Amino acid sequence: MYTILLSIIAVLTLALAVLIIVLFTFNANIEKGMQTANNAVQRIVPPSEQAEFKLYGNSNDSSTDAVFNIKSTSQHPNSFIMASVSIIYDGGKKNKLLEERQDLIERVYLSQLKEATIEYFRNQTFEELQASDSMKIAREELKEIYNDIVSNQGTEERFIIKVVFDKWILQ
């Protein structure tokens, strides 16, 4: 009777050991999959550690809208888009890097980010921006452009999480 119980306990212990090995191996594979091309790990940022920066707006003016010229076409010459662009970025674990990153965006990268936004919209036509998925495409492309600007200036981290358009009006 005791032999049977001991053999059952041994089999269950062995199964538990195999399960633990599988879980650790699976977890290691997930972490490897989260690495980007430049070996920087993208972390999942909780909402409490996210910060927002309105790209166009200042303390003197409450407006955060900007007007961008877009590429002229024969059907839509002299067209423009009025958009309000916000950048959501990672403040670091427990917001330890929030002030440093906010200062970097405001003092070092602001003019480059604005220039990249102007350049992006200047290369778009009215028809391209009127498409149903154009806002989603613009969000993703601007996020990549902004992260390239930030990561090319000495930091390895790509801390810009997403780009949000509060307003999007084509004319």
pLDDT attached to residue 34 = 52
Q: What is the mean pLDDT of the chain?
A: 80
CB 158 within 8 A of CB 36: yes
Task: For the chain, give every domain's residue range.
Answer: 1-33, 47-170
Among candidates 42, 54, 30, which has minimal Cα distance to 144?
42
Q: What span, in angstroms and rounded, lies between the C-alpha atoms of 7 and 147?
A: 57
Is the pLDDT reported for residue 36 higher than 50?
A: no
- pLDDT tens-digit profile of 20-29? 888 877 766 5
- Please tell me the CATH code under which domain 47-170 is placed: 3.30.479.30
Token pair for residue 89? 């970025």
- The reported pTM is 0.67
Is the pLDDT reported for residue 32 higher than 50?
A: yes
